[in-house]
Chain A
């Protein structure tokens, strides 16, 4: 194909890909992740096109020649269904490092070990310094806007910023969150079903009695529950880490994945009317 033809095709493909890119951005999929997914699709599709009916699959070298992907990568890509490369996926969103540091770097924690609310740039420790340190090469204002758009930080008055999540995740109804919702519902139902079927070996499933609080106090109660339960889960994770390390060393046959989930419940109540 001529250079002019390629340029024309690229313009057309760009128009077709734009909505997809918008969707990726909305879902928090990074460009390297999308590129690795596209490369994986390229390789799989090339093998499909090169395969003649009744013949063996084309060699990795042939697929490599057609796609421009090195044959070593072709082999590893074809070994599994099309997906985002694990190395890219693991790297994740650039702001994940910043969010992690905001929760662990002592400069950005208060005396109880919680992430501090930060001034945007006027006072140290500031968000600007945090962003420059953990997302070098990006303007702190751009990083802040990206985090705000994803609902991961809350803007307070006087140009102060509060972090709301430890990991990068787009809020709202999206594929990742719906998948997680399904997993959590599955976990709870499996525990309840297990306890019905095997009461003699029941799994922990308990709750505190519900209390009624004034609607104006609900934000405080939510914050309190989140901090207490978060602390408890973090402590249990650390305590059980020793058990997990010991189990990894033992090469017994059957293994069981064990976890604990805590969640808050809320129901609207109405005042009883006296007759």
Chain B
């Protein structure tokens, strides 16, 4: 049976709503909260073990992490900094009219500067400390671009993928979980999820392996379209002259397919 849920959903309609901060939760709520917290930690530990960390080391790391204020943890951002700059460069290639060809698509770019829009100009802007050749190599390795002839590069994908590379995938997962938890935190503090909460929707149904593969094929272009639309809107808004002076925070949309 098809199901649609919102992220903010009570486990039972008969259960009394607990305060968002859990300050005056009764014994039953407290027990349930701890059970869920234990399971949550278990899920994280099980996932981390697949990256080669053993139980003893994870226990030590958990104790260290619990002793640190969470705001100080920014390793994921550091690991992803290079990928983020590459993504920003690709974003400019896709969004800036100067980098499009006469059909409206991202044009092939000269590797070396020739006065106009070039890959060298993008590399200089987003990787000032690197050589252009290094940035080309990085882009090819990340599968976002490929060489076209001796002097040009063509955009392959506007999304920087981390497939097959464990450390960036781990950092990316950490950042995704952190972002999801921040949305969940907003939603557990609002009274009306419809008018004040941030959108958080899920669809899930039991399907065969074959149908799951078909689903991916169908949904991939839809997700890409949605992300592209979201990215374009946010990118253009951020560049409006009136918005540049305002205090800003990173905001966005993340979509992924899952199978349990």
Summed over the interface, the residue pairs from A and B with CB atoms below 8 Å come to a total of 74
Chain B residues lying within 8 Å of A220, measured Cβ to Cβ, are: 97, 100, 104
Query: Which B residues, 135 to 167, have Cβ-Cβ distances below 8 Å to chain A?
Result: 143, 146-149, 152, 154, 156-159, 161
B225 within 8 A of A: yes
B103 pairs with A234, CB closer than 8 A: no
Report whether B103 and A112 are in contact in the complex, using a CB–CB cutoff of 8 Å.
Answer: no
A106-124 interface code vs B (CB 8 A; 1 in, 0 out) = 0000111110110100010
Q: Which of A104, A112, A116, A156 contacts B159 (CB 8 A)?
A: A112
Known pairs A158-B148, A235-B218; A110 contacts B100 (CB<8 A):
no
Does B239 touch A at the CB level, under 8 Å?
no
Contacts of A112 in B (CB 8 A): 157-159, 220-221, 224-225, 228
**Which residues of A in the span 231-262 have a Cβ within 8 Å of any Cβ on B?**
231, 234-235, 238
Q: Which of A116-145 contact B (CB under 8 A)?
A: 116-117, 119, 123
A180 contacts chain B at the CB level, 8 A cutoff: no
Q: With the chains together, A159 CA to B102 CA distance in Å?
A: 17
Q: Using Cβ atoms and an 8 Å threshold, which residues of chain A touch B229?
A: 228
Pair B108/A160 contact, Cβ less than 8 Å: yes
**Alpha-carbon gap, A234 to B222, bound state (A):** 9
A267 to B155, CA, bound (A): 32
- B77 to chain A minimum Cβ distance, whole angstroms, is 23
Q: A160-B148, A220-B97, A231-B221 are in contact. Are A116 and B156 (CB under 8 A)?
A: yes
CB nearest to B150 among chain A residues: A158
Q: Which residue of B lies closest to A119 (CB)?
A: B148
Give chain B's interface secondary structure class: mixed
B217 at the interface (CB under 8 A from A): yes
Task: Please tell me if A13 contacts chain B, counting CB pairs below 8 Å.
Answer: no
Contact indicator A113/B220 (Cβ below 8 Å): yes
- Whether A222 is near chain B, meaning CB under 8 Å from some CB there, is yes
Chain B nearest CB: distance from A160 CB in Å?
Answer: 6
Partner of A235, one of B147, B161, B222: B222
Residues from chain A with Cβ under 8 Å of B225 in the complex:
112, 227-228, 231
Determine the distance from Cα of A117 to Cα of B152 in the docked complex, in whole angstroms. Answer: 14
A contact residues around B103 at 8 Å (CB) = 154, 162, 219, 223
- CB contacts (< 8 Å) of B222 on chain A: these are 231, 235
Count chain B CB atoms within 10 A of each CB in A117, A119, A162, A223 and give the residue with the most. A117
Q: Let me know if B161 and A111 touch, CB within 8 A.
A: yes
Q: B105 at interface (Cβ–Cβ under 8 A)?
A: yes
Interface assignment of A224: CB less than 8 Å from any CB of chain B: yes
- Across the interface, A158 reaches (CB within 8 A) one of B104, B149, B157, namely B149
Shortest distance from the beta carbon of A25 to any chain B beta carbon, whole Å: 27
CA distance A117 to B100 in the complex (A): 15
Bound CA–CA A122/B159 (angstroms): 24
Chain B hits for A114, CB < 8 A? 221, 224
Distance A128 CA – B143 CA, assembled complex (angstroms): 21
Contact of B100 among A113, A119, A159, A219 (CB under 8 A): A219
A113-B224, A231-B222 known; A219-B157 Cβ under 8 A:
no
Interface residues of B (CB under 8 A from A): 97, 100-105, 108, 143, 146-149, 152, 154, 156-159, 161, 217-218, 220-222, 224-225, 228-229
**Would you list 15 pairs from A and B whose C-beta atoms are within 8 A, ordered by A residue?**
A110-B157, A111-B143, A111-B157, A112-B220, A112-B224, A156-B108, A157-B108, A157-B148, A157-B149, A162-B103, A218-B104, A220-B104, A227-B225, A234-B221, A235-B222
